[in-house]
């Protein structure tokens, strides 16, 4: 993909685009909340697996098609959440203030990328935490259309292009692996042999170290010590 020209992009103030609030949660310990047979994803303070820390059968607390992040870890916890989910302590959720009818999946994914990029420049960590108040001060650079709004079509096309490239790349790798996969070897007519079978190997008993014949008083060793 060629380098993106952002010359005509525009800064948008985060607090004008989105509200940021803590997610609703069930205030339970992981032991009580999580269930290996659960169906509802729980978004936790994690920078991995899109923030999903497990599943539960407790009711959904948040609607999907939003962006989440943790205010107790790093900016790597910024994710787009496509499905309804269960919130968690310290997990924040972004919800549109304006253009709510235009923030579709691809546009929010694009925004999440730019949001994470901006936050990463601030070098947040577990000491210098990435808080909601920090995020609300951000100005996010986005492409703009002829009306001065975020360029919805550009953002949608960009994400779809990335996904198409990813699918094609994965498909090419799968085809290559399938093509290069060696055929299964038929061993039904093979036969077992023992190392001691005649005409296979000659086995000699090696020399062993005999402790009774060992000594620390060897003249050559003394000479080496003197040289050193």
How far apart are the C-alpha atoms of 200 and 180, rounded to whole Å? 34
| Residue 119: closest CA among 99, 136, 143, 142 | 136
The torsion defined by the Cα of 8, 75, 77 and 46, in degrees rounded to 10, comes to 170
pLDDT tens-digit map of 105-163: 999 999 999 999 998 888 777 777 788 999 999 999 999 999 999 999 999 999 999 99
Residue 100: both structure tokens together: 């709510």
Q: Specify the pLDDT at position 228.
A: 40
Q: How far apart are the first and last CA of the chain?
A: 64
Q: What is the pTM of this model?
A: 0.72
pLDDT tens-digit map of 19-73: 999 999 999 999 999 999 999 999 999 999 999 999 999 999 999 999 999 988 8
How far apart are the C-alpha atoms of 79 and 47, rounded to whole Å? 9
Instruction: Say which residues have a Cβ less than 8 Å from residue 36's Cβ, sequence separation at least 6.
Output: 55
Instruction: Say which residues have a Cβ less than 8 Å from residue 125's Cβ, sequence separation at least 6.
Output: 74
């Amino acid at each position: 993909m060629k380098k993106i020209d952002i010359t005509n992009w525009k800064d948008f103030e985060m607090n004008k685009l989105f509200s940021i609030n803590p997610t609703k949660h069930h205030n339970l310990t992981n032991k009580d909340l999580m269930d290996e047979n659960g169906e509802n994803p729980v978004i936790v303070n994690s920078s991995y697996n899109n923030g999903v820390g497990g599943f539960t059968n407790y009711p959904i607390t948040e609607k999907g098609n939003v962006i989440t992040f943790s205010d107790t870890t790093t900016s790597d916890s910024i994710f787009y959440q496509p499905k309804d989910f269960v919130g968690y302590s310290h997990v924040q959720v972004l919800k549109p203030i304006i253009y709510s009818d235009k923030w579709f999946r691809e546009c929010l994914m694009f925004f999440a990328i730019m949001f994470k990029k901006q936050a990463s420049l601030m070098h947040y960590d577990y000491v210098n935490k990435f808080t909601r108040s920090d995020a609300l001060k951000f100005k996010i650079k986005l492409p703009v259309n002829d009306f001065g709004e975020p360029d919805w079509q550009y953002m949608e096309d960009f994400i779809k292009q990335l996904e198409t490239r990813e699918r094609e790349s994965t498909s090419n790798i799968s085809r290559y692996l399938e093509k290069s996969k060696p055929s299964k070897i038929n061993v039904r007519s093979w036969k077992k042999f023992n190392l001691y079978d005649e005409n296979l190997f000659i086995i000699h008993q090696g020399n062993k170290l005999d402790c009774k014949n060992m000594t620390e008083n060897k003249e050559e060793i003394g000479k080496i010590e003197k040289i050193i």
